[in-house]
């Protein structure tokens, strides 16, 4: 059975369970942990942020190295709680491999879902990949190609990002590439998600904002119209990157028990922070 078939089988299997546990609760993780900076994720004090909510498990490192960092990816005018997660790929003779850390979500969404996360990295390579992935539980670590949904501000073979659902992918082809050692805010929206076991036409959207842009659009509470009307570039009134894709007759959705993964391939000094999901807005 293929990985995608397993995903859909999983969703069909839990449809009845989810009917008894429908939830649109917020999911948050700010990585404000009590551990000493540099502690391995999963060790005492570094299993979950003190104010994290909406999860049914703690963070687990699947491959590579994940550590708690006391460095906060703060952005002016945006709320932030100290701490972040550093994700390092496997060291190889001539390259850096992948790293994946994951946690199960304790909420089910249908309709529109809004999400965001922050990241900061060293100079990415041509084949570097940075992303947040959503997938069904599996023995194999997810990748952007096998995930139910993939939100990637940096994709393989390009300086730009992509958003995708399996083989349906929308690639960014213009704008401003992410620069090294800068904090970025990634906003994403999944529209018209079906209830588990049903089908709908869905749409995926992703914006990447630098610090000045994030502060600028915060003034309008990240109005979607303002974001859509902005041109692409590095100026504060612009958005660094934007892309979207529509998928007809899709069963893909976000359901309780699915796995949220932070993904790094061949990216040096990568940090994640301030992961949020909500049914009400950014």
Q: What is the mean pLDDT of the chain?
A: 91
Would you say residue 19 has pLDDT above 50?
no
| Average pLDDT rounded to a whole number, residues 209-228 | 97
> In DSSP terms, which residues pair with 277 in a beta bridge?
27, 115
3-state class (DSSP) for residue 17: helix
Helical (H) or strand (E) element with 216? helix 211-218
CA 26 to chain centre: 15
Residue the block writes with tokens 């900076």: 37
Amino acid 11: pLDDT: 52
Q: What's the pLDDT at 18?
A: 46
pLDDT at 55: 97
Q: What is the mean pLDDT of residues 275-281?
A: 96
- The residue among 37, 24, 116, 20 whose CA lies nearest residue 71 is 37
Contact predicate 113/189, CB 8 Å: yes
- Residue 276: pLDDT over 90: yes
Q: How many CA atoms lie within 13 A of 258 on its CB side?
A: 29
Strands (E), the chain: 27-29, 60-63, 65-69, 84-88, 98-104, 111-120, 129-135, 149-154, 162-165, 168-171, 184-193, 200-210, 241-250, 259-265, 270-278
pLDDT reading at 212 higher than 90: yes
Give the residue-averaged pLDDT of 146-166: 96
Q: What is the mean pLDDT of residues 29-58?
A: 96
User: CB 48: neighbour CB atoms within 10 A?
Assistant: 18
- Using the predicted structure, report yes or no on whether residue 147 has a pLDDT greater than 80: yes
What pLDDT band is residue 23 in, cutting at 50, 70 and 90? low
Residue 135 has pLDDT above 70, yes or no: yes
> What is the torsional sign of CA 79, 81, 82, 88?
negative
Query: pLDDT of 104-125, one tens digit each?
Result: 999 999 999 999 999 999 998 8
pLDDT tens string 62-89: 999 999 999 999 999 999 888 999 999 8
pLDDT number for residue 9:
53
Residues 232-249 have pLDDT tens digits of 999 999 999 999 999 999
Coil, strand or helix at 183: coil
Confidence of residue 10 (pLDDT cuts 50, 70, 90): low
146: which 2 tokens? 């096998």
Dist CA 181 CA 32 (whole Å)? 21
Reference 184, options 78, 49, 75, 27; nearest CA is 75
Among positive and negative, which fits the CA dihedral 105, 110, 4, 188?
A: negative
pLDDT of residue 3: 42
């Amino acid at each position: 059975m293929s990985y995608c078939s397993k995903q859909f089988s999983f969703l069909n299997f839990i449809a009845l369970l989810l009917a008894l546990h429908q939830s649109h609760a917020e999911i948050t993780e700010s990585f404000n942990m009590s551990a000493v900076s540099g502690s391995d994720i999963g060790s005492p004090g570094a299993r979950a942020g003190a104010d994290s909510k909406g999860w049914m498990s703690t963070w687990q490192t699947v491959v590579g190295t994940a550590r708690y960092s006391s460095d906060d990816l703060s952005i002016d005018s945006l709320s932030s709680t100290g701490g972040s997660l550093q994700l390092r790929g496997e060291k190889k003779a001539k390259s850096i491999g992948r790293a994946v850390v994951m946690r199960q979500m304790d909420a089910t969404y249908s309709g529109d879902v809004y999400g965001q996360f922050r990241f900061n990295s060293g100079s990415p390579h041509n084949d570097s990949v940075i992303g947040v992935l959503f997938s069904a539980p599996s023995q194999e670590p997810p990748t952007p190609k096998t995930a139910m949904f993939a939100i990637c501000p940096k994709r393989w073979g390009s300086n730009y990002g992509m958003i995708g659902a399996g083989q349906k992918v929308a690639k960014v082809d213009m704008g401003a590439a992410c620069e090294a050692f800068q904090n970025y805010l990634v906003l994403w929206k999944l529209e018209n998600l079906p209830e588990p076991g049903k089908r709908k036409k869905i749409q995926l959207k992703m914006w990447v904002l630098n610090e000045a842009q994030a502060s600028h659009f915060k003034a309008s509470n990240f109005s979607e119209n303002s974001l859509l009307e902005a041109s692409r570039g590095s100026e504060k009134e612009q958005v660094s990157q934007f892309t979207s894709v529509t998928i007809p007759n899709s069963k893909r959705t976000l359901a309780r028990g699915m796995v949220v993964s932070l993904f790094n391939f061949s990216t040096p000094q990568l940090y994640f922070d301030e992961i949020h999901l909500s049914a009400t807005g950014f």
